[in-house]
Amino acid sequence: MSHQHIIYQVDMDIDGEVADSFDVWLGEHIDDMLAIAGFVSAEVLADTESVQQGVVHRSVQYRIKDRQSLEHYLSHDAERMRAEGQRRFGGYFKATRKILSAGGPRAGSAELELLRSCRNCSAPLTGQYCHACGQRDRKRMISVWELFRDLIGDLFEIDSRLWRSVLPLLLRPGKLTEEYLAGRQVYYTPPLRMYLVVSILFFLVASFGGDGSRLTISGEQLSDSAVISSEAQQESIRQCDELDINLGSGSLAQEEIPEIIKQVCRRIAVDRGKTFLKNLYDNLPTMVFLFLPLIAMVQKILYIFSRRYYVEHLLFFVHFHSFFFLNLTVSVLLSRIPDFFGAQGVLVTLMIIALSVYIPVYLFKAMRRVYGQSFFVTLIKYVLLFVAYHVCLTMTMLAGFVYTALSV
Using CA atoms, how far apart are residues 331 and 205, in angstroms rounded to an integer?
A: 10
In tens, the pLDDT along 244-300 reads: 566 555 555 556 666 677 676 777 766 666 777 888 888 888 899 999 999 999 999
Residue 259's pLDDT is 67
Residue 105's pLDDT is 40
Nearest Cα neighbor of 177 from 167, 163, 188 is 188
Q: What is the pTM of this model?
A: 0.57
Cα separations (Å) of 79 from 92, 131, 371, 383? 18, 17, 44, 54
**pLDDT above 70 coverage of the chain, percent:** 65
Where the chain has pLDDT below 70, the residues are 1-4, 46-53, 101-129, 131-160, 209-259, 262, 264, 269-273, 338-345, 408
In tens, the pLDDT along 118-172 reads: 666 666 666 566 766 666 665 544 555 655 555 455 555 555 677 788 899 999 9
Residue 219's pLDDT is 42
List the beta strands (DSSP E) in 16-76. 39-44, 55-64
For helices 78-89 and 19-34, give the axis angle rounded to 10 degrees. 160
Rg (CA), the chain: 32
| Torsion of Cα atoms, 182 then 183 then 185 then 190, to 10° | 70
Using CA atoms, how far apart are residues 345 and 334, in angstroms rounded to an integer?
A: 10
Could you tell me where the DSSP H helices lie in 46-143? Answer: 67-76, 78-89
Residue 110's pLDDT is 37
Using CA atoms, how far apart are residues 42 and 64, in angstroms rounded to an integer?
A: 9
Using CA atoms, how far apart are residues 32 and 47, in angstroms rounded to an integer?
A: 22
| Torsion of Cα atoms, 240 then 243 then 247 then 249, to 10° | 110
Provide CB contacts within 8 A for 109, sequence distance 6+.
Answer: none
- Tell me yes or no: is domain 5-115 CATH 3.30.70.100: yes
Tell me the helices (H) and strands (E) count for the chain, helix number first: 14, 7
Using CA atoms, how far apart are residues 403 and 396, in angstroms rounded to an integer?
A: 11
Residue 90's pLDDT is 73
Cβ contact 330:138 at 8 Å = no
Residue 371's pLDDT is 93
Residue 215's pLDDT is 36
> Residue ranges of the domains in the chain?
5-115, 166-228+271-407
Residue 126's pLDDT is 60
Residue 212's pLDDT is 44
